Each structure stands twice: as structure tokens, then as C-alpha cells.
């Protein structure tokens, strides 16, 4: 237990240290880095909000994103990601599919993230893997991202290097949290999917909805549509969906309301607009569809012969709704998600809650 406590307690700070180190190494403007710029966002998913403790049971992510930067301020990794960004330096087919109307209005942000995901069966007592239940699995990943945007579109590309298995520390994190809550310990973690280094590349485009504009006055509404692709040895999928917000003094930023492949907070499409008041309160609603071609937690690691006992469902749907509150530069939100079955043996749909805290510097 003494070895578990430090990692679990300081995971957010380990993440911040990793992001800070990556920023210093990967960006040429590190010496001019202004720590009072950009956004820092914490995400926490947990199914306890849905009254259960199984399947996708916990997720944690900390992400930092810069303010608007010039091309010369991008690091080596981010410059490499530009070939998929839709800007003037990207592949021709990406410019045609995801390009911008006026390249002179394009703005750049770069970001870093640390993410941990955890999956468990429903029965916690057996020391073996329960049959026809979700395989024990954990994943930990460090992401490096580039965000390119104009006044109506943002393209986000993230390269994530991670690991499955015991090296993800998912077991230790769950044991620590359950000890704090006084909850039973899951005994079958020795049966989790094995260690394997993973590499994933994600692309997500968000587009301001033409029929949901921010408007004028205290009560306003806005909306985003999005689509994306993820290719990798942890997960390969396509996604399509969107969400809208309605509320009082909507924040001049838009944030991924839940933990996702490219979950960050942004200024509203690169504009210089600032908060119009100290307070904001809003509600949101969204939906998302996934076409899943590979999932290491269900199919087993790509380079290991490992049977999970699960049969992945190729199509998964989600609906979510929530509320957010902002005071000055700090914002909190809670979103609840209802997700269809992810594998054939799953006896019912799942649901979980997502807490997020965003701080603008």
C-alpha cells in the first residue's frame, strides 16, 4: 500500500510535471513560455454517478493548451502534425476535406495531456476473470496535440503514446480510491490485459453550427458539430456527433464537456473576445455515434495473443446532458452520459458521470 499511495495521490501533479517537461523539450519558445496563457483542464469520469461499478468504471485526464501561437512557436512534434491539420502545409487531400476558406485567418494552439482509463467486470470478489463480463483493463497515455482554427472551424490532431496492462497503474489507482471510500476491492486484476506500448493518432474537426449562433443578450445559445477519426494500437474508430449549450452569459470559450480523444478547452474559434461578466451558467445536450474497428480492451492488445472473452460491438451510440458554472476564470461542469452496449456479452447499457474543472490563465 505504501507504494500505491504516492502515485495515486500525486497522479495529477505527475501529469502536470510531464506536460511541463514536454512543453520545455518540444517547443522552441520554451524560454518565452508565459504560464499565464492558455487553459488547464481536469476531467474525471466515474460510473458511481450512475449507481454502478463495472465496464468503463473510471477515467482521468489533465490537459493543457496554449493560447494562440505563431507557426514559428510550434515544436517538432506539432510541426509534424501539421501535415494533417488542413492548413497550407498539410496534405492536399486534408486541405480539400478539412481545409480553411482563408489561410491568413488561421491560428495555432498546441497542447499536452495525460489520460488514464480503467475497465472492470461487475463481480469484484472472484480472483479469476468472471465469464461473459468485461475484461479487467487499464491504459495510461501521454498526448501531444496541435489545434488549427479560424472563425468557424477547429481541427485538432493528437499523437498519444501509452501503455496497457499493469504499467497503466489502473489497479493501484482503483485500490486507493476504493480504500478511501471504504468500497470492496476488485480481486481479479491479475487477469487484466497485458502490458503493451500503444501509439494512436486522433483527428477531430469541430464546426460552429450555422443554425445555433451565440446571438446577443444575456441568454444565448451556441452549438458545435464534430466528426473524427482515431487510428492506433489502443483504439481505431470513426465518430460523428455534436452538442449545444444554452445559458446565461455563455463563456467565450468552448470546452469538450467530457473526457475524449482530444479533450481540451479553447478560446471561441480563436477570437479575442473576453468574458462579458464574472458569472456564467449554462446547460448542454449532445449525442455521439462511434464506429469501432479495434479496441485493445475488448479485442486484446494488438501484438499479443490474448483472449479477452469479449466480443466487441462495431457501433456504439451515446447521448449526454449536463450543466456548467463559471466564475471569472474558473469553470466547473457535470455531464451524464448514457452509452449503448460496447460488447456482445454486456447485459445492459452503461451510464457514467463526468466532472470537469477548467482554469484559464
Containing structural domain, residue 336: 4-360
Instruction: Give the pLDDT confidence score for residue 13 in this predicted structure.
Output: 46
Dihedral of alpha carbons 79, 85, 87, 88, sign:
positive
Q: For residue range 227-237, what is the model confidence (pLDDT) as tens digits? A: 999 999 999 99
Provide the number of structural domains found in the chain: 1
- Give residue 278's pLDDT band: very low, low, confident or very high (50, 70, 90): confident
- Identify the CA nearest to 231 among candidates 293, 154, 290, 311: 293
CA 267/CA 72 separation, integer angstroms: 20
Instruction: Give the pLDDT confidence score for residue 50 in this predicted structure.
Output: 75
Q: For residue range 209-227, what is the model confidence (pLDDT) as tens digits? A: 755 555 556 788 888 899 9
Q: Is the pLDDT of residue 3 over 50?
A: no
Distances (CA, A) of 205 to 143, 173, 224: 17, 32, 10
Question: Which CATH number covers residue 269?
Answer: 2.40.128.140
CA 347/CA 360 separation, integer angstroms: 42
CA–chain centroid gap for 192, Å, is: 23
Choice among 65-79, 201-215, 240-254, 316-330 with the minimum mean pLDDT: 201-215
For the chain, give the mean pLDDT: 85
User: The whole model's pTM is what?
Assistant: 0.88
- In sequence order, the β-bridge partners of residue 240 are 227, 289
At 155, list the grid cell. 481541427
State the average pLDDT over residues 175-187. 86
At 40, list the grid cell. 488547464
Instruction: Give the pLDDT confidence score for residue 182 in this predicted structure.
Output: 78
Choice among 144-148, 254-258, 280-284 with the minimum mean pLDDT: 254-258
Give residue 81's region: left, alpha or beta (phi > 0; psi -120 to 50): alpha
CA 80/CA 90 separation, integer angstroms: 10
Q: Is the pLDDT of residue 87 over 80?
A: yes
Instruction: Give the pLDDT confidence score for residue 271 in this predicted structure.
Output: 55
- Identify the CA nearest to 262 among candidates 286, 289, 226, 293: 226
Choice among 12-26, 174-188, 301-315 with the minimum mean pLDDT: 12-26
CA 160/CA 200 separation, integer angstroms: 5
CA–chain centroid gap for 261, Å, is: 4
DSSP 102-149: -GGG-EEEEEEEEEEEEEE-S--S-SSPPTTSPPPEEEEEEEEEEEEE
Dihedral of alpha carbons 176, 54, 162, 310, sign:
positive
Amino acid at each position: 500500500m505504501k507504494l500505491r499511495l504516492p502515485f495515486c495521490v500525486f497522479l495529477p501533479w505527475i501529469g502536470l510535471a510531464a506536460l511541463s517537461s514536454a512543453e520545455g523539450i518540444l517547443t522552441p519558445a520554451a524560454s518565452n513560455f508565459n504560464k499565464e496563457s492558455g487553459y488547464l483542464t481536469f476531467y474525471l469520469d466515474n460510473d458511481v454517478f450512475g449507481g454502478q461499478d463495472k465496464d468503463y468504471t473510471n477515467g482521468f485526464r489533465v490537459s493543457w493548451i496554449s493560447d494562440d501561437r505563431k507557426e514559428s512557436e510550434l515544436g517538432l512534434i506539432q510541426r509534424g502534425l501539421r501535415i494533417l491539420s488542413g492548413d497550407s502545409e498539410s496534405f492536399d487531400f486534408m486541405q480539400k476535406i478539412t481545409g480553411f476558406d482563408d489561410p491568413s485567418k488561421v491560428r495555432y494552439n498546441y497542447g499536452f495531456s495525460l489520460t488514464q482509463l480503467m475497465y472492470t467486470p461487475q463481480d469484484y470478489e472472484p480472483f479469476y476473470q468472471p465469464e461473459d463480463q468485461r475484461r479487467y483493463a487499464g491504459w495510461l497515455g501521454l498526448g501531444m496535440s496541435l489545434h488549427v482554427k479560424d472563425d468557424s472551424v477547429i481541427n485538432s490532431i493528437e499523437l498519444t503514446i501509452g501503455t496497457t496492462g499493469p504499467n497503466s497503474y489502473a489497479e493501484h489507482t482503483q485500490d486507493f480510491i476504493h480504500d478511501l471510500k471504504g468500497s470492496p476491492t476488485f480481486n481479479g486484476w491479475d487477469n487484466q490485459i497485458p502490458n503493451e506500448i500503444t501509439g494512436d493518432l486522433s483527428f477531430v474537426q469541430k464546426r460552429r453550427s450555422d443554425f445555433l449562433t451565440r446571438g446577443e443578450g444575456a441568454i444565448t445559445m451556441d452549438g458545435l458539430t464534430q466528426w473524427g477519426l482515431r487510428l492506433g494500437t489502443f483504439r481505431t474508430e470513426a465518430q460523428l456527433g455534436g452538442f449545444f449549450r444554452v445559458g446565461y452569459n455563455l463563456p467565450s470559450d468552448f470546452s469538450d464537456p467530457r473526457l475524449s480523444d482530444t479533450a481540451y478547452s479553447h478560446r471561441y474559434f480563436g477570437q479575442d473576445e473576453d468574458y462579458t461578466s464574472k458569472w456564467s451558467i449554462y446547460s448542454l445536450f449532445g449525442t455521439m455515434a462511434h464506429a469501432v474497428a479495434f479496441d485493445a480492451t475488448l479485442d486484446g492488445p494488438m501484438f499479443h495473443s490474448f483472449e479477452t472473452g469479449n466480443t466487441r460491438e462495431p457501433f456504439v451510440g451515446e447521448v449526454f446532458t449536463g450543466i456548467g458554472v463559471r466564475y471569472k476564470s474558473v469553470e466547473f461542469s457535470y455531464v451524464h452520459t448514457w452509452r449503448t452496449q460496447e460488447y456482445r456479452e454486456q447485459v445492459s447499457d452503461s451510464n457514467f458521470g463526468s466532472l470537469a474543472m477548467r482554469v484559464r490563465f
